[in-house]
Structure formats: structure tokens, C-alpha cells
């Protein structure tokens, strides 16, 4: 049997460090504006996974010494009511960040709701103003999952300049913004997607391979250049009969067992990119508070 070679990139450990590193800035903001950075989270409906995400976000925000204000609305809530809540939060000077947990119920237009958020409070970085700032190299709020990937890559590899990064997936929330972030680091970026021909040929040239697809264990060892750094964004639930009836386990978009025999570095699922997403949300809330209130902080 081929021995396991890849070193694990421990997202849980790194995210804890990142959250701890925010504390001095949180204290500075508290001292200067008289309250800690404050995040408003809106959850519409009863989606189980969303409830878990929101609970974790609120818990970790408060554990870091910030304030979070939760708004739970029924799945019958109409778009007008939701837009009016967003407007109220936009106008509330004591709210620094607004997060609308996605997905929203089908009768609500997600795009309209995201675009209604004040871009200065858009801690998810999904507003077109923030997407435009990222694309043109201006300071703004950046989507949390791509930022988490970038911070892990910088910590693992140092300078990314000149490296070839291949991203599988071109969504607005992961693939595209991550491409922009890596370009800004002077990496050479290739983005592939469901219409790309001969994906394997492209991915196997990557120094950095990022999978953000949503397909269980799609990336096999033959897709990976020996010695590459593999970041697995995917979170997929698959049934796990070995755990008992009706049980499931989480796997990524990368076949971890195969990939870890050829990659040099790899993120696990769970415990890789996932914890970084929440840590970056906290980081963005601190950045949003500091930008709105003109407070000098250590995060650049």
C-alpha cells in the first residue's frame, strides 16, 4: 500500500488562532466606540443545516467578545417584510454587519435581498459593490469562504506569487471571488466548471488545486499534480451504513484517501475550510465596524 504523504492543513486550529488574533482589535473598537462590533443574523424558515450554521455563528461571535443579534422569521415571511427588516438594520448605527442566511425560501428573491444590504455592512461580501471592489482591487468586504481558503494557503505556502492555481467551480460565492483573491496574490489562475473539456488535464497542472463543486469525492489522485496543495471546499452528506441505519457522514469534493497519497498538503472535511468560513465572518464583522467608525485596527 502507498503510504500517506500529505500533511494535513488543520483549519480548526488555524481558525481558533485567527479568532484569538481578533481580540485586541475587538477591544480597541469597544474602547473607542463604546460597544463591541455587532453582527445581525437573519434566518428565514426552519432549514436544519441553516439553523446549525446560525447557531455556530452566533455562539462564536459572542465567544470572541462581540455582540450578535438574531432575527428568526417564519418560512411564510414575505419578501417585503424581509426587505423592511434589512432596511431597519441598515439604518441602525449599532449594527456593523448584516448576514442573511442562505438559502432563502423559494418565494423570496435572494438577489434582491442581498442587494438591499448596505455594502458597508455586507459581511458576506456578496453585494455587487463588494464584488466589483474585489474585481478591481479596491478595499471592501470579501466573501468568507474564499477568504478562509486564501488565509490557509498563505499560512501553508507563504508567497503564492507565480504558482498555478486551478479552481473547480465558478460560483459567485466561492469560485469567482477566490479567483480574484488569488490573482491579487500574483498566482496564475485557471477556473474550470461543468462545461470544461478534459478537466483532469488542467487540474493535474495545478500547484494549488481548489475544489468547490458539491460532488462527493469527485477529484481522484489522477487529477492531482504530485506535491500539490489541495483545498477541499465541498461539504457533501453521504449515507454511512457502517454508523447505523439512517446515519450519514460528511465528505468533500476530493477523494481524501487517494489525494493524500499524492498531494503535499491537503485540507480534511470536516475540519478544513468549514471552520475558516465562520472565523472569517467574525473577522469581516471587525473590519466592517472599524471601517464604518474610522477605527485603526491591525487587520489590513
- Joined together, the cell numbers standing for residue 16 give 481558533
Q: Is 233 in the site for ligand NDP (CB under 6 A)?
A: yes
Nearer to ligand NDP, 65 or 214 (CB): 214
Residue of 261, 233, 224 lying closest to 149 (CA atoms): 233
* Rounded least distance, CB 218 to ligand NDP, Å: 6
Q: How far is CA 228 from CA 7, 26, 60, 205, 259, in A?
A: 11, 36, 32, 9, 10
**Contact characters 277-296, ligand NDP, x per CB under 6 A:** x-------------------
Q: Is 174 in the site for ligand NDP (CB under 6 A)?
A: yes
Residue bearing cell 506535491: 227
Residue list 258-277, contact with ligand NDP (CB under 6 A)? 273-274, 277
Q: How far is CA 2 from CA 68, 199, 230, 260, in A?
A: 48, 25, 18, 10
* Rounded least distance, CB 170 to ligand NDP, Å: 4
The DSSP element (H or E) to which 164 belongs, if any, is strand 164-168
Question: DSSP for 85-126?
Answer: HHHHHHH-TT--EEEEPSSPPTTS-HHHHHHHS-GGGBTT--
* Rounded least distance, CB 68 to ligand NDP, Å: 18
Interface residue with ligand NDP, options 72, 215, 220, 292 (CB under 6 A): 215
Catalytic sites, residue numbers: 57, 101, 124
Interface residue with ligand NDP, options 173, 183, 250, 295 (CB under 6 A): 173
* Rounded least distance, CB 28 to ligand NDP, Å: 28
The DSSP element (H or E) to which 200 belongs, if any, is helix 199-203
Q: Is 140 in the site for ligand NDP (CB under 6 A)?
A: no
Q: Which stretch binds ligand NDP (CB under 6 A): 15-23, 76-84, 188-196, 241-249?
A: 188-196
Torsional sign, CA 125, 130, 131, 135: negative
* Rounded least distance, CB 294 to ligand NDP, Å: 31
Q: Is 175 in the site for ligand NDP (CB under 6 A)?
A: yes
Residue of 156, 151, 143, 158 lying closest to 18 (CA atoms): 151
The answer to whether 117 touches 90, Cβ cutoff 8 Å, is: yes
Interface residue with ligand NDP, options 170, 220, 292, 293 (CB under 6 A): 170
Nearer to ligand NDP, 29 or 213 (CB): 213
Phi, psi (deg, nearest 5) at residue 290: -65, -40
- Joined together, the cell numbers standing for residue 177 give 471571488
Q: Is 145 in the site for ligand NDP (CB under 6 A)?
A: yes
Residues that bind ligand NDP (CB under 6 A): 145, 168-171, 173-175, 193-195, 199, 212-215, 233-236, 273-274, 277
Amino acid at each position: 500500500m502507498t503510504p500517506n504523504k500529505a500533511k494535513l492543513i488543520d483549519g480548526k486550529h488555524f481558525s481558533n488562532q485567527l479568532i484569538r488574533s481578533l481580540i485586541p482589535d475587538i477591544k480597541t473598537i469597544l474602547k473607542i466606540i463604546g460597544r463591541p462590533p455587532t453582527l445581525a443574523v437573519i434566518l428565514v424558515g426552519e432549514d436544519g443545516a441553516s439553523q446549525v450554521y446560525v447557531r455556530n455563528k452566533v455562539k462564536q461571535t459572542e465567544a470572541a467578545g462581540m455582540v450578535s443579534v438574531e432575527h428568526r422569521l417564519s418560512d411564510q415571511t414575505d419578501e417585503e417584510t424581509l426587505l423592511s427588516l434589512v432596511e431597519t438594520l441598515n439604518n441602525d448605527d449599532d449594527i456593523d454587519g448584516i448576514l442573511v442566511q442562505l438559502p432563502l425560501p423559494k418565494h423570496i428573491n435572494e438577489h434582491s435581498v442581498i442587494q438591499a444590504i448596505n455594502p458597508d455592512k455586507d459581511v458576506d461580501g456578496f453585494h455587487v459593490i463588494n464584488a466589483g471592489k474585489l474585481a478591481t482591487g479596491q478595499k471592501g468586504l470579501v466573501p468568507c469562504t474564499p477568504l478562509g481558503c486564501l488565509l490557509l494557503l498563505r499560512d501553508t505556502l507563504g508567497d503564492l506569487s507565480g504558482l498555478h492555481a486551478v479552481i473547480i467551480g465558478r460560483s459567485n460565492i466561492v469560485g469567482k471571488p477566490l479567483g480574484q483573491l488569488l490573482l491579487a496574490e500574483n498566482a496564475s489562475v485557471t477556473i474550470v466548471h461543468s462545461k470544461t473539456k478534459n478537466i483532469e488535464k488542467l487540474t493535474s497542472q495545478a500547484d494549488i488545486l481548489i475544489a468547490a463543486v458539491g460532488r462527493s469525492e469527485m477529484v481522484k489522485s489522477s487529477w492531482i499534480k504530485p506535491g500539490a496543495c489541495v483545498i477541499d471546499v465541498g461539504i457533501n452528506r453521504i449515507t454511512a451504513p457502517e454508523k447505523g441505519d439512517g446515519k450519514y457522514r460528511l465528505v468533500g469534493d476530493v477523494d481524501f484517501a487517494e489525494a493524500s497519497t499524492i498531494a503535499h498538503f491537503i485540507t480534511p472535511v470536516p475540519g478544513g475550510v468549514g471552520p475558516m468560513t465562520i472565523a472569517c465572518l467574525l473577522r469581516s464583522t471587525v473590519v466592517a465596524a472599524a471601517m464604518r467608525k474610522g477605527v485603526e485596527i491591525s487587520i489590513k
